């Protein structure tokens, strides 16, 4: 199977964690897109009754297109499950997220959910986080000062993320920097804490102690990895 077919298989398999009556966080990215498409099909054809909370404007638009009822997180008393993608996950199920520039909203939704299911293909499974550049959302105010502070703290190259040759602006009106640490993040909790101490940092793309299950697609098919196994 090619990579896209594997993503689709994993995205659809993750829907097994969604039941009628649930409030569901809807993640962002190329794999969880297939989860949203399948949930929309189940809403239309199987009368699945859910309320979705999107983590980005792109996810909101797709969910509306396929007929998933949506609500603001503030209108609900928490979520039953969030299904999202990841850029990397390690053996402790710590994650790097933010490749789609939605890390702030994704983390707010994940922290509000009783459980987190991640859909991924085998390329995202690593021994140590950091080969994928760590996304960090920063305020536009004096962003170069914040960028230099991050470089000093992490001791690595940090690049402003661009879109169409201009600084990428998130759904929240902030910028993204990508820290090229390499696979060195052996203590992601400490790294997150230190970065959040910098005043210009809004949020860090380290999702620590949130993921419970990974639905993993590989050349051998889809497998379910549960934290603690």
Confidence of residue 1 (pLDDT cuts 50, 70, 90): low
pLDDT higher than 90, residue 29? no
- Collapsing DSSP to helix, strand or coil, 116 comes out as strand
pLDDT in tens, 73-132: 999 999 999 999 999 999 999 999 999 999 999 999 999 999 999 999 889 999 999 999
| pLDDT for res 121 | 87
User: Do 104 and 46 sit in the same domain of this protein?
Assistant: yes
User: Do 9 and 80 sit in the same domain of this protein?
Assistant: yes
Domain region containing 115: 3-123+208-226
Can you give the three-state secondary structure of 70-100, one letter per residue?
Answer: ECCHHHCCCECEEEECCCEECCCCCEECCCC
User: Do 22 and 49 sit in the same domain of this protein?
Assistant: yes
Confidence of residue 220 (pLDDT cuts 50, 70, 90): confident
Residue 9 appears among annotated catalytic residues = no
User: Do 41 and 100 sit in the same domain of this protein?
Assistant: yes
Residue 171: other Cβ atoms inside 10 A:
15
Q: Is residue 42 part of a domain?
A: yes
Query: Residue 17: which of 45, 48, 61, 44 has the closest Cα?
Result: 48
Span 9-16, average pLDDT: 94
Instruction: Enumerate the β-bridge partners of residue 206.
Output: 96
Q: For the chain, give the mean pLDDT.
A: 96
Whether 214 and 10 have beta carbons less than 8 Å apart is answered as: no
Domain holding 184: CATH number?
Answer: 3.30.70.260
User: Do 178 and 78 sit in the same domain of this protein?
Assistant: no
- How many angstroms separate the Cα of 66 from the Cα of each of 20, 38, 48, 84, 199? 17, 9, 13, 17, 40
Q: N- to C-terminal Cα distance for the chain?
A: 27
Residues 148 and 21: their CA atoms lie apart, in Å, by 47
Q: Is residue 62 part of a domain?
A: yes
Q: Is residue 129 part of a domain?
A: no
Query: Residue 110: which of 151, 133, 80, 134 has the closest Cα?
Result: 80
Residue 156 in tokens: 């690595």
User: Do 39 and 85 sit in the same domain of this protein?
Assistant: yes
Confidence of residue 139 (pLDDT cuts 50, 70, 90): very high
Structural domain total, the chain? 2
Q: Give the H/E segment covering residue 5.
A: helix 3-13
Spacing of C-alpha 31 from chain mean position? 10
pLDDT higher than 70, residue 180? yes
Confidence of residue 193 (pLDDT cuts 50, 70, 90): very high
User: Given 8, 9, 38, 106, which residue is catalytic?
Assistant: 106
Residues 186 and 89: their CA atoms lie apart, in Å, by 12
């Amino acid at each position: 199977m090619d990579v896209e077919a594997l993503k689709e298989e994993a995205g659809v398999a993750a829907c097994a964690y969604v039941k009628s009556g649930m409030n569901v966080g809807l993640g962002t990215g190329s794999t969880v897109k297939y989860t949203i498409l399948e949930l929309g099909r189940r809403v239309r054809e199987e009368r699945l009754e859910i309320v979705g909370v999107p983590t980005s404007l792109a996810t909101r638009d797709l969910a509306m297109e396929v007929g998933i009822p949506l609500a603001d997180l503030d209108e609900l008393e928490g979520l039953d499950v969030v299904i999202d993608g990841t850029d990397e996950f390690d053996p402790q199920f710590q994650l790097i997220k933010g490749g789609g520039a939605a890390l702030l909203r994704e983390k707010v939704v994940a922290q509000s959910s009783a459980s987190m299911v991640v859909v991924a293909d085998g390329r995202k499974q690593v021994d140590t986080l950091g080969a994928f550049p760590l996304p960090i959302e920063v305020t536009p105010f004096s962003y170069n000062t914040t960028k230099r502070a991050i470089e000093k703290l992490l001791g690595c190259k940090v690049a402003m993320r661009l879109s169409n040759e201009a600084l990428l602006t998130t759904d929240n009106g902030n910028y993204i920097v990508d820290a090229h640490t390499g696979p060195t993040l052996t203590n992601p909790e400490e790294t997150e804490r230190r970065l959040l101490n910098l005043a210009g940092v809004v949020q860090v793309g380290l999702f620590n102690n949130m993921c419970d299950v990974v639905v993993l697609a590989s050349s051998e098919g889809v497998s379910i990895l549960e934290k603690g196994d």
